[in-house]
Amino acid sequence: MAKEKKEKVVENMETEVVAEDTRKVVLMQGNEAVARGALAAGLDFYAGYPITPSTEIAEILSEELPKKGGKFIQMEDEIASICAIIGASLAGAKAMTATSGPGFSLMQEGIGFAKATETPCVVVDVQRGGVSTGLPTKPSQGDIMQSKWGSHGDNPAIVLYPHTVKECYELAIRAINLSEKYRTCVTLLLDEVLGHMREAVKLPDISNVRIVNRLRPTVPPEWYKHYDENQKYISPVASYGEGYRFHVTGLAHDALGFPTNKASEVAAQMKRLKRKITHNIRDLVQIESYMMEDATVAIFAVGICARSAKAAIKAAREYGIKVGLLRPITIWPFPDDAVKKMLRDVDTIIVPELNEGQLINELHRLTKDKADGKIIPIQRSDGEMITPTHIFRVIKEAH
Amino acid sequence: MANIPQKVVHKYLRHNKKFPHVWCPGCSNGTTLGSIIRAIAELNYDRDGITMVSGIGCSSRMPVYVDFNTLHTLHGRALPFATGIKMQKPEQKVIVITGDGDATAIGGNHFIHACRRNIDITTIVLNNNIYGMTGGQYSPTTPTGDRATTSPYGNIDPVFDICELAMAAGATFVARTTAFHALETQDIIKKALEHKGFSVVEVVSACPVIYGRLNKKGGGPEMMMHMRDNSVPLKATEKMTPEQLEGKIVRGIFKQVNKLEYCDAYANLMSQFNVKEEAKK
């Protein structure tokens, strides 16, 4: 019975890779897959600062970008790195940086600037363990909330979370595509173990990769508005040096980009930032349902914990336990509808995560029955993984 | 409409930006903006080919008024943003407008590293010796002993010499002038813009409303007169004793050398590969 359920059901999964080239099987690390994916998506510019466990991304791009006419620069710190990619993006580049926790903290002001000024860029955060300097070579999922709320003010986030090396490749492409499409900073969250793990990956032919480029203005410069209020939340964007001579500021701004204190103009900006996410949930949110059709127990997990969960599910199915996995691929915006359905459909939800309860709070937000033991946490923040055995044990207890 | 003769600056100011500007009466920032614009006009640069980037502070509000590609960034971060733009579009003339606090306190690290890389950006530091926008706190260039809202008993901090800092860090064009010497500023900025490499122009500026009032330096005109009477051209310093030089602002071009520029170095690096021209967007 378990066997019939084995193939994974991917809902709302518009993959960036149209067709795989089965001949090209390579052994690849998660970090390398991110770098290769970004290149496939048309990355022009990378600025970064060395930090474990993300450094391989910079190393690979320093080698590859000059070969294709792209730009690589190692900046003096992570603050400079995020600022440099925003500058490059304003000059027309598809731009990216990669870092880990401490660097991600330093980048938050810049991330807010990219979102406020609606400048496309991608930040990869290969999460390391612990608070502060923490555990540079150990995994954690401690930046889930930071990736949404890290920058001050209301700044709606798009955050993607792969769980295999192949998905690192695909989601790196998708991150760049979404940043271009929605004119915003998109974050790609990796687990340390995924960044450093090697798996066999089938790389697609480049012609089979779906590439999205930002909309370009078709109006003459004197008609151009950098944030056109007549467009539906996402307007075409010019680059510096093309004759449009627009102004960009992190201050609250009007449609032309000039600073403003006028409540109606500020409200329009805030509304646009929010609605370009909330009005496109269907396009943005991707989840994977794994053996969920008949499940009475569900596991809700991301990244590496979802892999442990899949192994535990296979084992539990052997014992006849109807257990499945719901895995958000896009964690922000949060897949509210899919989670609400899960909360209705199953008796028990197990939430394994490598932090002290970040995902589980989102589930609590969506349900009133917090106290009845329906949602069971498995939390670990000591730098070690949550094993399939551990999850299996909890499944058996919950069943 | 009547035929009103236009000044050079009007050609470069934005027509769709709501004036008045943010600067206080007596502030010298407008004078320096005039010098910058006239330098650009003399060089006959295309407005589309200029990107002006600034950080946060009084002087950093400058880009919004001018009709170039303009970017008003985060506090201290104008140079990394500018570095990204310049790397991506080396043909753009990139000008950074910054202040003493923006460039040498919060942005000090970016400042020395931009100097070190010798990337072709002209950085104009409007040094008014104070954080004006936040109401008058001491900056790394507030003279020791002077008053600020955060040094009510007199500032105990030693000061940065912005030009010495830039030279030591590797900038290849370094100059100082004052807002009073508007024509000299224009001339020096013109030379800085023509220089291939990282150029720093420190413009000693007047903040009469805050710094001037706290330190009894008089109003705008008095502070301008102080710049006139207390500054000496670099040449004149040769004949002066250290005692005579005490407290004087030395004006002039301190350093102008040719060294491999950063974008050129990157282009050299790329030249070993067969990069197609279309890759340069």
ipTM of predicted assembly, 2 dp? 0.96
Q: Is residue A274 part of a domain?
A: no
Q: Is residue A223 part of a domain?
A: no
Q: Is residue A6 part of a domain?
A: no
| pLDDT tens by residue, B57-116 | 999 999 999 999 999 999 999 999 999 999 999 999 999 999 999 999 999 999 999 999
Q: Is residue B1 part of a domain?
A: no
Whether A201 and A330 share a structural domain = no
Q: Is residue A2 part of a domain?
A: no
Cβ A97 vs Cβ A83: under 8 Å: no
Torsion of CA A382, A383, A388, A390, to 10 degrees: -10
- Binary contact (A113, B85; C-beta < 8 A): no
| pLDDT tens by residue, B168-193 | 999 999 999 999 999 999 999 999 99
**Containing structural domain, residue B153:** 23-233+249-279
CA distance A93 to B166: 30
Q: What CATH number is attached to the domain comprising B185?
A: 3.40.50.970
Whether A293 and A183 share a structural domain = no
CA distance B226 to chain A (A): 34
Q: Which residue of A lies nearest to B18 if distances are taken between CA atoms?
A: A258
Residues of B in contact with A122 (CB under 8 A): none
CA distance B171 to chain A (A): 16
Q: What CATH number is attached to the domain comprising A336?
A: 3.40.50.920
Q: Is residue B53 part of a domain?
A: yes
Q: Is residue A156 part of a domain?
A: yes
Q: Is residue A276 part of a domain?
A: no
CA distance B69 to chain A (A): 4
Q: Which residue of B lies nearest to A259 if distances are taken between CA atoms?
A: B64
Amino acid at A333: P
| pLDDT tens by residue, A169-203 | 999 999 999 999 999 999 999 999 999 999 999 88
Q: Is residue B7 part of a domain?
A: no
Whether A32 and A180 share a structural domain = yes
What number of other Cβ atoms are within 10 A of residue B145's Cβ? 12
- Binary contact (A92, B51; C-beta < 8 A): no
Indicate the residue among A192, A208, A224 that finishes a domain.
A208
Q: Looking at the 3D structure of chain B, how many domains does it have? A: 1
Cβ A131 vs Cβ A146: under 8 Å: no
Residues 6+ apart with CB under 8 A from B162: B100, B103, B104, B125, B127, B141, B176, B200, B202
- Closest by alpha carbon to B59, among B18, B106, B100, B10? B100
Whether A313 and A167 share a structural domain = no
What are the backbone dihedrals phi and psi of residue B258, each rounded to the nearest 5 degrees, phi first? Answer: -100, 125
Residue A48 forms contact with B (CB below 8 Å):
no
Residues of B in contact with A69 (CB under 8 A): 270, 275-276, 279-280
The answer for A 222-281 residues in CB contact with B (under 8 A) is: 240-251, 256, 258-259
Residues of B in contact with A95 (CB under 8 A): 84
Q: Is residue B241 part of a domain?
A: no
Residue A121 forms contact with B (CB below 8 Å):
no
Q: What CATH number is attached to the domain comprising A98?
A: 3.40.50.970
Exposure string of A301-330, with b = 16+ CB inside 10 Å and e = fewer, is: bbbbbbbbbbebbbbbbeeebbbbbbbbbb
Q: Is residue B244 part of a domain?
A: no
Q: Is residue B9 part of a domain?
A: no
| pLDDT tens by residue, B225-268 | 999 999 999 999 999 999 999 999 999 999 999 999 999 999 99
Q: Is residue A261 part of a domain?
A: no
Q: Is residue A221 part of a domain?
A: no
How many Cβ contacts (< 8 angstroms) between chains A and B? 144
Q: Is residue B205 part of a domain?
A: yes
B281, pLDDT greater than 70: no
Amino acid at A41: A
- 3-class secondary-structure state, position B174: strand
Nearest CB neighbour to B85, from listed A90, A245, A258: A90
Indicate the residue among A172, A187, A208 that finishes a domain.
A208
Query: pLDDT-based confidence at A385, cuts 50/70/90?
Result: very high
Whether A67 and A190 share a structural domain = yes
What pLDDT, on a 0 to 100 scale, did the predictor assign at position A2?
40
Q: Looking at the 3D structure of chain A, how many domains does it have? A: 2
**Containing structural domain, residue A348:** 286-398
